[in-house]
Amino acid sequence: MGAGNHDIVRSTRFGGGELGSVRARAALVALLGLPGAAYLYQGQELGLPEVDVPVEARADPMWARGGVCRDGARVPLPWTADAAMSHGFSLAEPAADPWLSIPAGWGTHAIEQQEQVPGSSLNITKTALELRRQLWKNEVFTADDGGSWRVEAGNLLICERNAHFLVAVAMGTEPVKLPAGTVLLSAAPLAEDGWLQPNNAAWVLKD
Protein backbone atom coordinates (compact mmCIF):
# COMPACT_ATOMS: atom_id res chain seq x y z
CA MET A 1 0.00 0.00 0.00
CA GLY A 2 1.55 3.34 -0.96
CA ALA A 3 0.94 7.07 -0.81
CA GLY A 4 2.47 8.55 -3.91
CA ASN A 5 6.07 8.77 -5.07
CA HIS A 6 8.40 11.09 -6.93
CA ASP A 7 7.15 9.91 -10.32
CA ILE A 8 3.65 11.32 -9.90
CA VAL A 9 2.23 14.63 -8.71
CA ARG A 10 1.53 14.95 -5.00
CA SER A 11 -1.80 13.83 -3.60
CA THR A 12 -2.36 17.39 -2.40
CA ARG A 13 -3.45 18.08 -5.99
CA PHE A 14 -6.87 16.59 -5.14
CA GLY A 15 -8.73 19.69 -6.28
CA GLY A 16 -5.91 22.10 -5.48
CA GLY A 17 -5.79 24.84 -2.86
CA GLU A 18 -7.43 24.38 0.53
CA LEU A 19 -9.79 21.70 -0.82
CA GLY A 20 -6.81 19.70 -2.03
CA SER A 21 -5.16 20.09 1.36
CA VAL A 22 -8.26 18.83 3.20
CA ARG A 23 -8.58 15.87 0.85
CA ALA A 24 -4.89 15.05 1.20
CA ARG A 25 -5.23 14.81 4.99
CA ALA A 26 -8.21 12.51 4.54
CA ALA A 27 -6.20 10.39 2.10
CA LEU A 28 -3.36 10.07 4.65
CA VAL A 29 -5.73 8.95 7.39
CA ALA A 30 -7.42 6.47 5.07
CA LEU A 31 -4.14 5.04 3.79
CA LEU A 32 -2.64 4.49 7.22
CA GLY A 33 -5.72 2.58 8.36
CA LEU A 34 -5.79 0.13 5.45
CA PRO A 35 -4.35 -3.40 5.54
CA GLY A 36 -0.77 -3.97 4.47
CA ALA A 37 2.40 -1.90 4.55
CA ALA A 38 2.28 1.85 4.00
CA TYR A 39 4.90 4.34 2.93
CA LEU A 40 4.85 8.12 2.77
CA TYR A 41 6.83 10.04 0.18
CA GLN A 42 8.93 12.93 1.51
CA GLY A 43 6.82 15.90 2.51
CA GLN A 44 3.54 14.05 2.26
CA GLU A 45 3.26 14.18 6.04
CA LEU A 46 3.42 17.97 5.71
CA GLY A 47 0.75 18.14 3.04
CA LEU A 48 3.22 19.80 0.69
CA PRO A 49 1.61 20.93 -2.57
CA GLU A 50 3.01 20.19 -5.99
CA VAL A 51 5.39 22.98 -7.06
CA ASP A 52 5.42 24.46 -10.55
CA VAL A 53 9.19 24.60 -10.93
CA PRO A 54 10.23 27.23 -13.51
CA VAL A 55 11.44 25.71 -16.76
CA GLU A 56 14.89 27.26 -16.44
CA ALA A 57 15.31 25.74 -12.94
CA ARG A 58 14.21 22.18 -13.69
CA ALA A 59 16.79 19.50 -12.94
CA ASP A 60 14.96 16.26 -13.75
CA PRO A 61 16.78 14.46 -16.60
CA MET A 62 13.41 13.17 -17.80
CA TRP A 63 12.44 16.77 -18.55
CA ALA A 64 15.36 17.10 -20.97
CA ARG A 65 14.85 13.65 -22.47
CA GLY A 66 11.09 13.34 -22.72
CA GLY A 67 9.35 16.51 -21.53
CA VAL A 68 8.12 14.92 -18.29
CA CYS A 69 9.12 16.76 -15.13
CA ARG A 70 9.00 15.20 -11.66
CA ASP A 71 10.68 18.11 -9.88
CA GLY A 72 7.40 19.43 -8.48
CA ALA A 73 7.56 16.83 -5.69
CA ARG A 74 11.31 17.15 -5.09
CA VAL A 75 11.62 20.68 -3.72
CA PRO A 76 13.48 20.66 -0.35
CA LEU A 77 11.41 20.19 2.80
CA PRO A 78 10.72 23.38 4.79
CA TRP A 79 11.94 22.92 8.35
CA THR A 80 11.59 26.55 9.41
CA ALA A 81 9.16 29.33 8.57
CA ASP A 82 12.11 31.66 8.02
CA ALA A 83 13.48 31.44 4.49
CA ALA A 84 17.10 31.57 5.71
CA MET A 85 19.21 28.56 4.75
CA SER A 86 16.52 27.29 2.40
CA HIS A 87 13.97 27.18 5.22
CA GLY A 88 16.40 25.30 7.43
CA PHE A 89 17.03 22.53 4.91
CA SER A 90 20.69 23.48 4.42
CA LEU A 91 22.87 24.24 7.44
CA ALA A 92 25.96 24.99 5.38
CA GLU A 93 27.88 28.20 5.97
CA PRO A 94 27.62 30.12 3.77
CA ALA A 95 24.16 28.78 2.89
CA ALA A 96 24.19 26.75 -0.30
CA ASP A 97 21.55 27.15 -2.98
CA PRO A 98 19.20 24.14 -3.10
CA TRP A 99 19.14 21.96 -6.20
CA LEU A 100 15.62 23.21 -6.93
CA SER A 101 14.23 26.71 -6.37
CA ILE A 102 11.93 27.13 -3.37
CA PRO A 103 8.64 28.93 -4.02
CA ALA A 104 7.47 31.99 -2.09
CA GLY A 105 5.40 31.10 0.97
CA TRP A 106 7.01 27.68 1.37
CA GLY A 107 7.53 28.43 5.05
CA THR A 108 3.78 28.23 5.72
CA HIS A 109 4.18 24.44 5.47
CA ALA A 110 7.23 24.35 7.77
CA ILE A 111 7.70 21.57 10.28
CA GLU A 112 8.28 24.02 13.14
CA GLN A 113 4.94 25.66 12.36
CA GLN A 114 2.95 22.47 11.99
CA GLU A 115 4.30 21.01 15.23
CA GLN A 116 2.41 23.76 17.07
CA VAL A 117 -0.97 23.10 15.40
CA PRO A 118 -2.93 20.06 16.70
CA GLY A 119 -4.87 19.55 13.46
CA SER A 120 -1.95 20.04 11.10
CA SER A 121 -1.11 17.45 8.47
CA LEU A 122 2.11 16.61 10.35
CA ASN A 123 0.38 16.04 13.69
CA ILE A 124 -2.46 14.05 12.14
CA THR A 125 0.17 11.80 10.54
CA LYS A 126 2.02 11.38 13.85
CA THR A 127 -1.24 10.54 15.63
CA ALA A 128 -2.21 8.01 12.96
CA LEU A 129 1.18 6.30 13.07
CA GLU A 130 1.15 6.02 16.86
CA LEU A 131 -2.43 4.72 16.88
CA ARG A 132 -1.50 2.26 14.13
CA ARG A 133 1.29 0.90 16.36
CA GLN A 134 -1.05 0.61 19.34
CA LEU A 135 -3.70 -1.22 17.33
CA TRP A 136 -1.07 -3.65 16.09
CA LYS A 137 0.22 -4.20 19.62
CA ASN A 138 -3.34 -4.82 20.87
CA GLU A 139 -3.97 -7.22 17.96
CA VAL A 140 -6.79 -5.15 16.51
CA PHE A 141 -4.58 -5.04 13.41
CA THR A 142 -3.13 -8.39 12.36
CA ALA A 143 -1.06 -9.79 9.52
CA ASP A 144 -4.13 -11.69 8.33
CA ASP A 145 -6.24 -8.57 7.67
CA GLY A 146 -7.45 -8.57 4.10
CA GLY A 147 -10.14 -5.94 3.84
CA SER A 148 -13.51 -5.89 2.12
CA TRP A 149 -14.84 -2.83 0.29
CA ARG A 150 -18.30 -1.39 -0.20
CA VAL A 151 -20.01 1.92 -0.94
CA GLU A 152 -22.92 2.91 1.28
CA ALA A 153 -25.61 5.56 0.84
CA GLY A 154 -24.28 9.07 0.28
CA ASN A 155 -21.09 7.74 -1.34
CA LEU A 156 -19.57 6.60 1.93
CA LEU A 157 -16.65 4.37 1.01
CA ILE A 158 -15.97 1.66 3.57
CA CYS A 159 -12.98 -0.63 3.92
CA GLU A 160 -13.76 -3.21 6.56
CA ARG A 161 -10.28 -4.28 7.57
CA ASN A 162 -11.48 -7.06 9.88
CA ALA A 163 -14.32 -7.90 12.24
CA HIS A 164 -13.26 -5.14 14.63
CA PHE A 165 -12.10 -2.18 12.51
CA LEU A 166 -13.06 -0.18 9.44
CA VAL A 167 -11.96 2.89 7.52
CA ALA A 168 -14.66 5.25 6.22
CA VAL A 169 -14.17 7.95 3.56
CA ALA A 170 -16.90 10.48 2.73
CA MET A 171 -16.75 10.79 -1.06
CA GLY A 172 -20.05 12.64 -1.53
CA THR A 173 -21.26 16.21 -1.06
CA GLU A 174 -23.30 15.81 2.14
CA PRO A 175 -22.49 14.49 5.64
CA VAL A 176 -23.06 10.74 5.98
CA LYS A 177 -23.87 8.51 8.93
CA LEU A 178 -20.95 6.38 10.09
CA PRO A 179 -21.38 2.69 10.94
CA ALA A 180 -21.91 1.99 14.64
CA GLY A 181 -18.73 2.10 16.67
CA THR A 182 -16.15 4.33 18.31
CA VAL A 183 -14.38 6.88 16.13
CA LEU A 184 -10.68 6.50 16.95
CA LEU A 185 -9.39 9.08 14.50
CA SER A 186 -10.66 11.46 11.83
CA ALA A 187 -8.74 13.70 9.45
CA ALA A 188 -10.83 16.67 10.59
CA PRO A 189 -13.02 17.13 13.68
CA LEU A 190 -16.46 15.64 13.13
CA ALA A 191 -19.09 18.32 12.58
CA GLU A 192 -21.62 16.12 14.41
CA ASP A 193 -21.11 13.00 16.48
CA GLY A 194 -21.53 9.89 14.35
CA TRP A 195 -21.57 11.78 11.06
CA LEU A 196 -18.69 12.19 8.61
CA GLN A 197 -18.55 15.36 6.56
CA PRO A 198 -17.49 15.37 2.88
CA ASN A 199 -13.76 15.09 2.14
CA ASN A 200 -13.07 13.48 5.49
CA ALA A 201 -11.91 10.02 6.57
CA ALA A 202 -12.22 8.20 9.88
CA TRP A 203 -11.11 5.06 11.69
CA VAL A 204 -13.93 3.26 13.47
CA LEU A 205 -13.61 0.55 16.10
CA LYS A 206 -16.78 -1.45 15.54
CA ASP A 207 -19.30 -2.19 18.28
More confident residue, 79 or 2: 79
Which of 162, 169, 165 minimizes the C-alpha distance to 197?
Answer: 169
Q: Are strands 165-170 and 156-160 parallel, antiparallel or unpaired?
A: antiparallel
User: Which distant-in-sequence residues (6+ apart) come within 8 Å of 118 by Cβ?
Assistant: none
Q: Which domain holds residue 175?
A: 11-206
Name the band, by pLDDT with cuts 50, 70 and 90, for residue 148: very high
According to the model, what pLDDT value does residue 4 have? 63
Indicate the SS3 state at residue 151: strand
Indicate the SS3 state at residue 186: strand
Query: What digits encode the pLDDT tens for the residues 95-125?
Result: 778 889 899 999 999 999 999 999 999 999 9
Q: Let me know if residue 53 belongs to a domain.
A: yes
User: Which distant-in-sequence residues (6+ apart) come within 8 Å of 18 by Cβ?
Assistant: none
How many domains does the chain divide into? 1
Query: What digits encode the pLDDT tens for the residues 127-146?
Result: 999 999 999 999 999 999 99
Q: Let me know if residue 2 belongs to a domain.
A: no
Stretch among 11-15, 16-20, 53-57, 186-190 having the lowest mean pLDDT: 11-15
Q: Let me know if residue 146 belongs to a domain.
A: yes
Q: Let me know if residue 188 belongs to a domain.
A: yes
Q: Let me know if residue 124 belongs to a domain.
A: yes
Q: Let me know if residue 72 belongs to a domain.
A: yes
Q: Let me know if residue 5 belongs to a domain.
A: no
Which of 4, 51, 1, 42 minimizes the C-alpha distance to 23?
Answer: 4
d(CA 19, CA 25): 10
Q: Let me know if residue 4 belongs to a domain.
A: no
User: Which distant-in-sequence residues (6+ apart) come within 8 Å of 133 by Cβ?
Assistant: none
